[in-house]
Structure formats: structure tokens, C-alpha cells
Amino acid sequence: MSGGVDSAVVAALLKRRGYDVVGVTMQIWQESQRDPRHAGCCSLGAVEDARRCAQVLGIPHYVVNFKDAFKKTVIDEFVEEYARGRTPNPCVTCNKEVKFDALLKMAEELGCEKLATGHYARVRRRGERFALMRSYGGFKDQSYVLYMLSQPQLSKVWFPLGELGDKAVTRRLATEFLLPVADKPDSQEVCFVSEAGGYREFLRKARPDSFEPGEVVDTSGKRLATHAGVADFTVGQRKGLGVALGRPLYVVNVDPVSRQVTVGEDEDLLRREVPLTEIVWSGKPSSCAPVKVTAKIRYNMEARSATLYALPEPTLVFDEPVRAVTPGQTAVAYSGQTVVAGGKISR
């Protein structure tokens, strides 16, 4: 129970169905943040919201301290990736290292049969394997941030909201269950960032060396301006470049070694090939042959037709160029409604 409406509704649904439900909230960050934009699963306010929901439902509720695990995995990677000129996805790292690793192990120690969460996705058994699928209807789908789940993990998790696939339905259920978070807004920011200056200010405090000055150049190498640090930039960025040439320019590359940021036209952002690293095959390939898929390279992107190659290195090749392929971000491939594989964009 993260303190949000989704996980609270899951607990209510499972209790109504007659299951023995135990609510667990991870305390993973020390900030006490009351701003609803930041009151995600990290704030002390969120812990209190989860406790109040558990009281309404009449279920036991435990708060577990995962601060150290969260710091060593999610936050440290977040900081280091930006220092390398890459753009991380902390939610994916948290799911991989904390929610479905440390928390799942704790659930097993408590004797629980399943770990249920408020994610919008589905798991289906197919023979001896488990398939991760998009949520029903696809109005809201979070399979993109769950691609890394292993077969043992998929066998132990449950996503009841995947059958709804619609946040509006979830909120109506929360009202019916008299849950105090029925109208709580979704968190819109990185959950552990509470600084007024956003994630950049967070990074300045954590890694000041990633804000050493460098050059802004065009695609031919011509110097256009100076910048205050590579961590200020991500591929596809348009604003805050410090360059005024009378036409839109975008970040097309960030080099942390030379501290050089390259900007170009919109067409310079287009790529067909997307090389991947740390790939996880959810739908195990029967061979190393190329697989026809649909794929997305960011959460809110519409999946597009592509081919997934396993060799010589895992690579997605889109039928048509996609915009702003961003190192450090996640790419996920689907076959119909089923996740085939996913990984980090390497370059």
C-alpha cells in the first residue's frame, strides 16, 4: 500500500473477495512531503494515508524500512546516470530492485501466497510460463515499467486493476469503499525529489561535479554557447539550451567526458535503430531469429511496428524512424497484448 488510491482499492477488492489481506507500506525516503505532487510512495504523508486506508478496511498494516535499499539502488543509479549524460527511469529501477525483490521476499517470509499491487497490468499463465500483458482495455497501462519481472516473480504477483484498466473506475470504487484517498491526485514528479528546483537541484546537491561548465555545439561541432553542466540536459530537450538562433533546436547528444552538448534540428533526433542493454525476455524466444513486434521507447508513446533482433546485440529496428532515442530510458517490445522483452537504451 503506497498511500495512493490504486493500491488502497486493490486491498479493498481483495478483502471483499474473501482473501486474508495484509497491508504493507515501504518507507523508502526520509522526506516529509505534503505537497500532493510529491506525495508518492516516498513521503511520510503517504505512509499515513496508507495507514488510514488500512484502518477503514480493518486489515493489519505494517511499515517496513527500505531506505538503505532504495538509496543504494534507485537514488544512486539516478544520480550516476545523469552524471554519465544519460536519462534514467527511477520507477523501473524501484520495481526491479525494491518492490518486486526486497518486498516480494518479505511477503514470502510472511507466508503470503501473492504480492498484490496497484499496477495496471495483467499476468497470464501459458503452459509452464507466465506472460506479462497490458491491462484490459488499455485506458491505463503500466506493463512498460514491469517488463523486468522474472518468471518466479510473475508467478507470485497479482495486479487486480489490470482487469479494470481505467483510473476513473478505480476512483469510483474508492468512493464506494469510503477510502480517504479517493480524490488524492496522482504524483506528477519523481517521488523522492522535493526540492523547489526539481530534479536538477536534487542532482546539484548530490553530484556537484556533474555541473561543471562545458560547450553547446551544433552537429558540425561549431561552438554556440556554454552550459553549466551535462546533468542539465537530456536528448530531445528544447528549452533551457542557452542558444537563440531564431529556430527551434533540440539536444541530440550529451557527452559527459568532453562535457559537450550537441544540439540540432528536429530531424536530427530521428532514429530507426535502438540498441538495448540489460534486456529481459519476458516472452522467451524460441530461437535467435528476429521477432516482429510493436515497441515503445517511452511510457506515453504509442507502440510502433518494429523488429527485435537478439544478435549480435539486442536491438530494436523500427519500421519508421522514432524521435529522441534517449540513452538510459526504457524500451519495451510487445506481441499483441503480451510483453516480449524490454531493456535499457544503451546509446
Q: What is the CATH number of the domain that holds 244?
A: 2.30.30.280
Residues near 169 by Cβ (< 8 Å), separated by ≥ 6?
Answer: none
Q: Are residues 292 and 218 in the same domain?
A: no
In a domain, 190, yes or no: no
pLDDT at 127: 87
- Judge contact between 137 and 170, C-beta under 8 A: no
Mapped onto helix, strand or coil, the DSSP state of residue 132 is strand
SS3 125: strand
* Residue 150 located in a structural domain: yes
R_g over Cα of the chain: 21
Residues 241, 282: one domain?
Answer: no
Task: Tell me: do 9 and 129 sit in the same domain.
Answer: yes
Name residue 125's beta-bridge partners: 130
pTM for this model (two decimals): 0.90
Distance (Å, whole) CA 157 – CA 133: 13
Active site residue 94: yes
pLDDT the model gives residue 153: 95
CATH code, domain with 324: 2.40.30.10
Domain at 128, CATH number: 3.40.50.620
109 with 132, same domain: the answer is yes
Reading the block at residue 207, the C-alpha cell is 553530484
527511477: which residue's cell?
A: 90
For 56, 233, 247, 267, the CA distances from 239, given in Å and listed in that order, are 46, 10, 12, 17
Residue 191 within any structural domain of the chain: no
Asked, for residue 181, whether it belongs to a domain, the answer is: no
**Helix, strand and coil percent figures for the chain, each rounded to 5:** 30, 25, 45
Interatomic CA distance for residues 58 and 60, integer angstroms = 7
Q: Do 31 and 140 belong to one domain?
A: yes
Is position 191 annotated as part of the catalytic site? Answer: yes
278 and 257 housed in the same domain: no
Q: Which of 41, 94, 112, 288 is catalytic?
A: 94
What pLDDT is stored for residue 44 in this prediction?
Answer: 76
* Model pLDDT, residue 185: 87
The catalytically annotated residue of 41, 42, 91, 191 is: 191
Cβ atoms of 182 and 225 closer than 8 Å: no
The rounded distance, in Å, linking the Cα atoms of 65 and 47 is 11
Residue that terminates a domain, selected from 201, 233, 264: 264
Domain shared by 32 and 103, yes or no: yes
Same domain, yes or no: 291 and 241:
no
Give residue 210's pLDDT.
86
Regarding whether 260 and 281 lie in a shared domain, the answer is: no
Whole-number Cα distances in Å, 117 to 5, 6, 9, 132, 242: 11, 8, 10, 14, 43
Q: What range does the domain containing 57 cover?
A: 5-176
The verdict on residue 314 lying in a domain is: yes
Domain presence at residue 186: no
Q: Does residue 143 sit in the same domain as residue 218?
A: no
pLDDT, tens digit only, all 347 positions of the chain: 999 999 999 999 999 999 999 999 998 875 544 454 444 566 678 899 999 999 999 999 999 998 899 999 999 999 999 999 999 999 999 999 999 998 999 899 889 999 999 999 999 998 889 999 999 987 899 999 999 999 999 999 999 999 987 899 999 999 999 999 999 988 766 777 766 668 888 898 888 988 899 999 999 999 999 999 999 999 999 999 989 888 999 999 999 999 999 999 999 999 999 999 999 998 666 567 899 999 999 999 999 999 999 988 999 999 999 999 999 999 999 999 999 999 999 98
| Tally of domains in the chain | 3
Among 247, 264, 281, identify where a domain stops: 264
Instruction: Give the pLDDT score at 188.
Output: 64
The grid cell for 23 is 497491508
CA–CA separation, 180 vs 288, rounded Å? Answer: 51
Same domain, yes or no: 24 and 169: yes
- What does the alpha-carbon distance between residue 291 and residue 77 come to, in Å, rounded to a whole number? 31
Domain assignment present for 201 = no
The answer to whether residues 132 and 46 belong to one domain is yes
Residue 93 placed within a domain? yes
- Integer CA distances (angstroms), 57 to 5, 14, 98, 254, in order: 13, 11, 26, 50
Q: Which of 117, 151, 176 is the last residue of a domain?
A: 176
